[in-house]
Amino acid sequence: MSEHKDFLRTIVEEDLKEGKYKEVVTRFPPEPNGFPHIGHAKSIYINFGIARDYHGHCNLRMDDTDPTKEDTKYVEALKDAVKWLGFNWGENVYFTSDYFPKLYNYAVQLIKMGKAYVDSLNEEEIKEYRGTVTQPGLRSKYADRSIEENLDLFERMKKGEFKDGEHVLRAKIDMSAANMKMRDPLLYRIRHVHHFRAGDEWFIYPMYDFAHCLSDYIEGVTHSICTLEFENNRDIYDWVLDTLELEPPRPYQHEFARLGINYTVMSKRKLLELVEGKYVSGWDDPRMPTIAGYKRRGYTPESILNFCDQIGIAKANSMVDVSQLEFCIRDDLNKKAPRVMCVLEPLKVTIINYEGSEEIDASYYPHDVPKEGSRKVPFSNELYIERDDFMENPVKGYNRLTLEQPVRLRHAYIITCKELIKDAKGNIIEIKAQYHPDSKSGSDTSGIKVKSAIQWVDAKKAKTIEVRLYDRLYKNEAPEGLEDLNPDSLKIIKNALVEPAVITEKPDERFQFERQGYFYADPVDYTEENPVFNKIVGLKDSWTKKSKTENKPKQEVKKVQIHGEEAPMNETQKALFDKYVDELKLNNEVANILARDESLSKFYEEALNVFNSPVHLANIVANEVAKELKEKEINKLKFNAKQIAQLIKMVEEETISNKIAKQVFEQMSKTGENPTQIVEAKGLVQISNPAVILPIIEEIIAKNPEMKAKYQAGNEKLLGFFVGQVLKTTGGKANPKVVNELVAQKLK
Contact call for residues 456 and 343 (beta carbons, < 8 A): yes
195 touches ligand ATP by CB under 6 A: no
**Quick one: 156 exposed, middle or buried, by C-beta within 10 A (0-12, 13-18, 19+)?**
middle
Neighbours of 732 (CB within 10 A): 15
Cβ closer to ligand ATP: 183 or 268?
A: 268
- Identify residues 206-245 at the interface with ligand ATP (CB under 6 A): 226-227
442: enclosing H helix or E strand: none
Binding mask 273-292 for ligand ATP (x = CB under 6 A): --------------------
Of the candidates 30, 49, 206, 301, which one interacts with ligand ATP according to CB under 6 A?
Answer: 30
267 touches ligand ATP by CB under 6 A: yes
Cβ closer to ligand ATP: 274 or 347?
A: 274
Q: What is the DSSP pairing of strand 25-28 with strand 456-458?
A: unpaired
Bridge partners, residue 430, by sequence: 348, 421
Q: d(Cα 503, Cα 657) in Å, to the nearest integer? A: 49
User: Catalytic residue positions?
Assistant: 31, 258, 268
Q: Which stretch binds ligand ATP (CB under 6 A): 81-89, 265-273, 501-509, 512-520?
A: 265-273
Q: Which stretch binds ligand ATP (CB under 6 A): 93-101, 259-267, 567-575, 596-604?
A: 259-267
Cβ closer to ligand ATP: 94 or 639?
A: 94
31 touches ligand ATP by CB under 6 A: yes
Whole-number Cα distances in Å, 221 to 29, 79, 213: 11, 20, 9
CB of 65: closest distance to ligand ATP in angstroms?
11
Q: Which stretch binds ligand ATP (CB under 6 A): 26-34, 452-460, 626-634, 699-707?
A: 26-34
456: enclosing H helix or E strand: strand 456-458
266 touches ligand ATP by CB under 6 A: yes
CB of 47: closest distance to ligand ATP in angstroms?
8
Q: What is the DSSP pairing of strand 453-454 with strand 346-351?
A: unpaired
Angle subtended at Cα 38 by Cα 34 and Cα 44, rounded to the nearest 5 degrees: 90
Residue type, 183: R
Q: d(Cα 699, Cα 686) in Å, to the nearest integer? A: 20
Cβ closer to ligand ATP: 192 or 748?
A: 748
Of the candidates 29, 137, 517, 538, which one interacts with ligand ATP according to CB under 6 A?
Answer: 29
- Identify residues 61-90 at the interface with ligand ATP (CB under 6 A): 63
Residue nearest to ligand ATP (CB): 39
Q: Which stretch binds ligand ATP (CB under 6 A): 6-14, 264-272, 456-464, 641-649?
A: 264-272
40 touches ligand ATP by CB under 6 A: yes
Q: Which stretch binds ligand ATP (CB under 6 A): 24-32, 112-120, 285-293, 461-469?
A: 24-32
Whole-number Cα distances in Å, 613 to 626, 644, 677: 18, 11, 22
Cβ closer to ligand ATP: 82 or 595?
A: 82
259 touches ligand ATP by CB under 6 A: yes
CB of 97: closest distance to ligand ATP in angstroms?
15
Number of chain residues interacting with ligand ATP (CB under 6 A): 15
**Long-range contacts of the stretch 357-365 (C-beta < 8 A, 24+):** 357/458, 360/411, 360/412, 360/440, 360/441, 362/410, 362/411, 364/338, 364/339, 364/340, 365/338, 365/339
93 touches ligand ATP by CB under 6 A: no
CB of 748: closest distance to ligand ATP in angstroms?
10
Nearest CA to 342 out of 377, 366, 381, 310 is that of 377
Contact call for residues 536 and 329 (beta carbons, < 8 A): yes
Residue type, 115: K
Cβ closer to ligand ATP: 79 or 418?
A: 79
Of the candidates 42, 170, 183, 234, which one interacts with ligand ATP according to CB under 6 A?
Answer: 42
- Alpha-helical (H) ranges within 253-300 are 268-276, 291-297
Cα-Cα-Cα-Cα dihedral sign, residues 639, 643, 649, 651? negative
Cβ closer to ligand ATP: 44 or 537?
A: 44
Q: d(Cα 217, Cα 241) in Å, to the nearest integer? A: 8
Cβ closer to ligand ATP: 69 or 336?
A: 69
Of the candidates 268, 296, 468, 708, which one interacts with ligand ATP according to CB under 6 A?
Answer: 268
Which residues would be at the binding site for ligand ATP (CB under 6 A)?
29-31, 39-40, 42-43, 63, 226-227, 258-259, 266-268
